[in-house]
Structure 1
Amino acid sequence: MTPPVDLLIRNSLLLCAFDDTGTELPGGWLAVDDGVIVAVGDKDTAPPEAETVVDAAGCLVLPGLVNAHQHLYQNLTRCYAAAAHVDNLTDWFWAYFTAWGRLDAEAVAISTTVGLAELALSGCTTSADHLYLHPEPELIDAQIQAARDIGVRFHPVRGSMTLGEADGAICPPNLVERVDDVLDDSRRLVEAYHDPTPSSMVRVGIGPSTLMSSSDAAMIESTAFADAFDVRLHSHVADDPDEEAYVGARFGRRPLQVYEDFGWLGRRSWLAHVVYPNHDEINALAAAGVSVAHCPSMTMIDGGLPGGPPPIRAMLDAGVNVGIGCDGATAADHQSLWLETKTAMLLSRQREGRASAMSARDALRMATRGGAHAVGRDGEIGQLSVGTNADVSVWRMDTLPYAGVLDDPVTGLMHCGPASAWHTIVGGKFVVRDGEPVTVDVPEALRRHRAAASRVQGLTCQ
């Protein structure tokens, strides 16, 4: 007699796999054993026996969403009054630096806990995070422990700022790091935590924040480090007119050209934003295999960027892999990957002037397969296929926001809403169940977060 599998999700309204063949199974089910999907079937195929059975009647079953770009610490300064009406990137950074200079291990840990819990509620099972401010040592260690406690796959990027105000850059003296110190700490983190196996819960990357705060040495040495330790490279590029002006004055080149000069255009790199690429740069990104993390709310929160939304449709058509990121919780003020995915769909339609420019499935493919590829995990996560990790998001479609959605729940999920995942499952384990986080004490986390946010903002906790 065949022993039961660990978990069975059955009787779904629709299972949408986002695999290579675009499998969609009405009444679909999937079976999980030892954290991995071991079988997928339709309503006419008998599923195996299971220790735990989830009845997904009325539910859309999707891969877990993958957040390709985030700054979790920034939920400590959401809607910060000093930056509420700032209209350019340079002034925006300076409005926050005093507060961010007060970051400590407790503040970073609880911001990670709260941010990953909010992301899990939005169906997210894997998140990158780019921490480029290090006023104290071992802040990423605190993040990794918090991520382990939540149970979400975590891709921390050891970011840095190595060029300060004295050199015309955007970084106060107290937050400027030495390149050798950054590399030493990056090596320590990789050796302590980086796990390259297919079921890994933690993978470490390296990433100078931006050309506006990074020395030439930091950019060049990071590529050598990534090659030597076989880890991924991440940074911000082409995200604001201030950056383009600064880079033009400093290098006499466009931002993406400078990244190419520094050896960044390769398959281990993924770049956040890329709002202003021209035709040749899009083709160069595609040819080099560089991924882009599209953060749509960031492009609008300050009133919109000159030139309109990023040319995501053109990137996809050229062969650029695009994932979706929430960016910092001060740039978007939320950490819902569902909302960013919907916004990406709508923003592309607005840019192109036609609904066919970005379907719901196109947007969700970016949020699943696109993000998985960006963080170096295509074939491991982002799809519901036999042999992939059992990272699953389950969405109830029998609630008020979806009344009338009968024949296409995938489009319904993106057109209607607001939505939170009913279940979020990572490696076969529930992180969200019946719409509630199960791995975090939310009231206690919010109490700790309020105390940390008050301390970082220089306020008296109420």
Structure 2
Amino acid sequence: MIAESILVRGRHVLTSATPAVVDDGAVLVVGESIADVGPYDELRAAHPDAGALGGPYDIVTPGFVNTHGHFSEGLLAGIGEQYTLGEWIHGLINPIAPHLTRAMAYVATMLSGIQMLRSGITTANDMFVCEPRPEPVTPAVVTALDELGLRGVVSFGAGDLRSAGEVAPQLAEHEALREAAAASRLCTFRVGIGAVGGQSDKLFAASADLAVRGGHGVHIHLHEVREEVTATRQRFGVTPIAHCAREGLFTAPTLAAHCVWADRADRDLLARHRVGVAHNPVANMILASGAAPVAELRALGVDVGIGVDGAASNDSQDMLQAVKATALLARVHHLQATAMTAREAFEMATIGGARALRMAATVGSLEPGKAADLVVFDGSSPALANVHDPYEAVVYVAGSREVKDVLVAGRPSVADGDVVTVDVADLVARSRPLARELVTRAGLSHLSELAR
């Protein structure tokens, strides 16, 4: 039985709001929302009957907001390391897309979602990339997220040029996912555009119209690699960002993944149109895409969050690795130890990501009235035995094993380090024949020991 109110205690409560830190503090959760944040002694005295979570040496934070990923890759972790992005798309993603089924979508989402929750993610912005089938595939993503207790912003990565398909099935998959999200407790829908170069003019226009007229947000890849920018210039005479702005796509709230190769004019357009950016440092390094101009974007007022990206490109689904990599890549890129602080990386992973998704009124910080999405880091672990600076402890020191408890909308999704609604061993066993079937049907047996 879940208590009507819960008092979540921490030696350090990092709010991503004002005040930024409450020492020996607590968060009062009532129902699905945060009712108060303040000193533990005061809140305990005022609410003696509240349930208890956390402890005097723990660190309490907002749930992390993963601003970009692909549950469609959940069965493909650790494969094809030799590919750069273009090779990876043609050699791995395109062959896989026609063979993803609803059963695969469900299990892949569960596998990735468990890893996300264990690393403190409470909101995941996803783009599921597949070919439409007679039975829509993507609603299984919503089913899995609801079962896991993981908040989702879900989209279908439409791209009719991948298989010279028709526009109608692409739109039908959008609609099926929209309906599933509308019936969900935790999921909301966005219009997915795989990439400008992956859509016909007809589908791009239909996608923009669906987003703008339907009042939906947009999730799109932009300027991930230089070749993408060059190809779009040759096709349209402008960069992908400029094309989206010219065609009115940015009229809808837009989250753009990567933006590695955005020049000053592109960055100005992103700022002018309030386009949020998902920075994916681990995937960008694995695929040799480059380092995004995070400092320049943030200086212009662009809201930048952090993404783990998909399991075929990261390949981990661990947000703490991505947050640490965000800070470290900035230091290497600028050859300066002060290029990004732990607090800045932490804020990008929480309220920055929420702002990038236009969700800051609901998630991303610990404030009264917001959703009770929060994480408790275990202060009794060896890694966090001696916390000299709580931000550095979370960003540089903590790993997923330090994530003790996770609440999403006031309900426990992780307790004592593991998910509460899923038989993990059973799920893992179910995943293996599906992964084997997927790589075999896609003709990728040469890349996978499972298929041999």
Q: Which residue of 2 aligns with 1:103?
A: 100
Q: Distance in 1 between the 2:246 and 2:129 partners?
A: 22
Correspondences of 1:194-343 after superposition (within 5 Å): 194=182, 201-266=186-251, 268-302=253-287, 304-305=288-289, 308-343=290-325
1:189 partner SS: helix
Asked if the contact 2:65/2:306 (under 8 Å) is kept, the reply is yes
- How far 1:27 moved relative to its partner? 0.6
Between the two proteins, the alignment pairs up a number of residues equal to 437
2:198 partner SS: coil
C-alpha deviations, 1:385-436, integer Å up to 9, x for none? Answer: 0000000011123322234433x12212212243441111101111111111
Q: Which residue of 1 aligns with 2:34?
A: 37
Q: Which residue of 2 aligns with 1:89?
A: 85
Q: Distance in 2 between the 1:262 and 1:50 partners?
A: 56
Correspondences of 1:48-447 after superposition (within 5 Å): 48-80=47-79, 83-86=80-83, 88-96=84-92, 97-136=94-133, 137-163=135-161, 171=162, 173=163, 176-194=164-182, 201-266=186-251, 268-302=253-287, 304-305=288-289, 308-406=290-388, 408-420=389-401, 421-447=403-429
Asked if the contact 1:132/1:208 (under 8 Å) is kept, the reply is no
1:79 partner SS: coil
Q: Distance in 1 between the 2:282 and 2:331 partners?
A: 14
Any gaps of 5 or more consecutive residues in structure 1? 164-170
Taking a change above 3 Å as real, the CA distance of residues 46 and 254 of structure 1, as seen in their structure-2 partners, is closer
Taking a change above 3 Å as real, the CA distance of residues 357 and 50 of structure 1, as seen in their structure-2 partners, is farther
Q: Distance in 2 between the 1:267 and 1:141 partners?
A: 23
Q: Distance in 2 between the 1:93 and 1:331 partners?
A: 10
Q: Distance in 2 between the 1:49 and 1:397 partners?
A: 24
Q: Report runs of 4+ in structure 1 exceeding 4 Å deviation.
A: 459-462
Identity %: 27
Q: Does 1:8 align with 2:4?
A: no
1:248 partner SS: helix
- How far 1:188 moved relative to its partner? 4.1
Greater share of residues in helix = 2
Q: Distance in 1 between the 2:149 and 2:180 partners?
A: 18
Aligned alpha-carbon RMSD (Å)? 2.0
Q: Distance in 2 between the 1:443 and 1:327 partners?
A: 24
Which amino acid in 2 is paired with 1:34? G
Asked if the contact 1:8/1:50 (under 8 Å) is kept, the reply is no
C-alpha deviations, 1:115-149, integer Å up to 9, x for none? Answer: 11110000001111101312523211111111111
What TM-score, normalized to structure 1? 0.90
Which amino acid in 2 is paired with 1:438? V
Q: Distance in 1 between the 2:295 and 2:323 partners?
A: 14
What TM-score, normalized to structure 2? 0.92
C-alpha deviations, 1:239-276, integer Å up to 9, x for none? Answer: 01221222122222222112222222346011000001
Taking a change above 3 Å as real, the CA distance of residues 415 and 39 of structure 1, as seen in their structure-2 partners, is same
Asked if the contact 1:266/1:290 (under 8 Å) is kept, the reply is no
2:305 partner SS: strand
2:16 partner SS: coil
Q: Which residue of 2 aligns with 1:167?
A: none
Q: Distance in 1 between the 2:28 and 2:85 partners?
A: 47
